[in-house]
Amino acid sequence: MRKLNAYEVFCEGYGSERGAFLVFHYTVKEAKKIAWPFARDSICDNYIDMRVREIPDAPWLFEEMKSDKPQVIESPRSCDICERWGHSRILQDGICGSCHKEIEENKKLVEKFQNEIII
């Protein structure tokens, strides 16, 4: 049985910042084909400019699936702070692991500077 992979589909001219879809399919070619009807109406004007990037080692993305068949997720759950998805798991509080790490690092810096000011 073939295994579904997770892909990010976006428009080359704008990058994923303008918008990207999460697609589950077997190959890059199939992912691009299934995403085109969604992309042409929102993120990309030209099929040739559409890019598909596999997202490896991200098992949490498969929690977004509505079924075990190939599909497009137009609005995957994203971080409440950085508004990104796919790079790290979104935790229960709606914040991704990367932002949590940055928050903790900033707390340590603030604490360090507060201690230096007091001394």
pLDDT in tens, 1-14: 789 999 999 988 77
* C-alpha dist (Å) from residue 35 to 16, 28, 67, 77: 14, 11, 16, 18
Identify the pLDDT of residue 62. Answer: 94
Residue 103 above 70 pLDDT? Answer: yes
**pTM given for the model:** 0.82
CB atoms within 10 A of CB 7: 26
Q: How far apart are CA 97 and CA 107, in angstroms?
A: 15
**Which token pair is 108?**
């340590």
Identify the pLDDT of residue 118. Answer: 64
Reduced to 3 states, what is the DSSP secondary structure of residue 18?
coil
Q: How far apart are CA 13 and CA 64, in angstroms?
A: 27
Which residues constitute the domain of residue 55? 5-118
Residue 105 above 80 pLDDT? Answer: yes
Residue 106 above 60 pLDDT? Answer: yes
Residue 95 above 80 pLDDT? Answer: yes
- What does the pLDDT look like over 20-48, one tens digit per residue? 999 999 999 999 999 999 888 888 888 99
Q: How far apart are CA 97 and CA 10, in angstroms?
A: 23
Number of domains observed in the structure of the chain: 1
